[in-house]
Amino acid sequence: MLAIGGRAPEFTLPDQDGQSRSLSTLLRAGPLILYFYPADFTPGCTREACTIRDLHDDIAQAGLNVAGVSPQSPKSHRKFREKYQLPYTLLSDADKFVIRMYDVQGPLGFGVRRGTYLIDQARYIRSAILADFRISRHEDFIRKAVALSAVSSAARKPA
């Protein structure tokens, strides 16, 4: 995984609709939870995606955004997103360029490890977790990111 405190590498990937999305564009709306997952429609990835979906209102209220990255096509992502009513962006990294850039490729370059980053609007990595099959650790990570963001945004509001 990339180091906490380091800059998140810029990238541009197609989303579920085939539209190009860059990291900078995703960050315009606020800090980003960027998660990497092996494949659409697998049991573990579906569970993770639906857990994030179920937390989405809290995530949005804390001023955070979400994007998922995996090697499947935009068409696969669109079907996955529609079937499970996922309210966030899914990005297609068919050649695994960004997956390698973010150091979440599987052993010997095969597959994708389940990794999640919290990236602030200046592109700094504020937190990260690599938990592979321990999906509940990703949920805990996201809940903590939401709590921290809610506290820091409350502190920025004038009294």
**What confidence tens digit (pLDDT) does each residue in 21-70 have?**
999 999 999 999 999 999 999 999 999 999 999 999 999 999 999 999 99
50 is an active site residue: no
**So where are the chain's domains?**
12-148
pTM summary value = 0.92
What was the pLDDT predicted at 66?
A: 97
pLDDT at 117 over 50: yes
Q: For the domain 12-148, what is the CATH code?
A: 3.40.30.10
pLDDT at 157 over 90: no
Pairing relationship of beta strands 125-130 and 12-14 according to DSSP bridges:
unpaired
Q: Which residue has the higher pLDDT, 135 or 93?
A: 93
User: To 5 degrees, how large is the angle CA 150–CA 118–CA 73?
Assistant: 125
* Active-site position among 45, 118, 119, 145: 45
